[in-house]
């Protein structure tokens, strides 16, 4: 772990990687910085969209908002996905004031 961060590996379609490269070049920011920013913005967006969903509708709405790629996954991955949805709901419930106050964070340019 470097600089207090965890390494994750992702695969991007070539056209997405090309767009990322272009944005990186134009903004003079590293691709890693941009990926962190985009992931953060996506999580903030998801949390804000789920914040006011009634508990009885939470599972269904979360599944609608997260791409349906989970349907093609192995059973173990689907079960892990289900647990992740539960953990997301628990997090939002425990930190409702924090989640309500969240705005996209500026990711520092390195």
The Cα angle at residue 66 between residues 65 and 72, in degrees rounded to 5: 135
pLDDT at residue number 92:
76
pLDDT, tens only, 80-95 = 777 877 787 787 777 7
pLDDT, tens only, 61-81 = 887 877 655 555 667 777 777
pLDDT at residue number 110:
43
Query: Taking the model in full, what pTM does it have?
Result: 0.57
> Rounded to whole angstroms, what are the CA distances from 83 to 26, 59, 79?
39, 11, 6
> Rounded to whole angstroms, what are the CA distances from 16 to 21, 22, 91?
9, 10, 31
């Amino acid at each position: 772990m470097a600089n207090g961060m965890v390494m994750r590996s992702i695969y991007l379609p070539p056209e997405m990687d090309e767009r990322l490269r272009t944005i990186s070049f134009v903004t003079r920011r590293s691709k890693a910085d941009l990926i962190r920013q985009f992931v953060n913005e996506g999580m903030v967006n998801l949390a804000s969209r789920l914040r006011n969903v009634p508990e009885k509708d939470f599972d269904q709405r979360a599944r609608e908002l997260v791409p349906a790629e989970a349907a093609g996954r192995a059973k173990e991955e689907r079960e892990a996905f289900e647990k992740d949805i539960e953990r997301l709901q628990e997090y939002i419930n425990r930190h409702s004031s924090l989640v309500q106050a969240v705005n996209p964070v500026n990711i520092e340019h390195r």
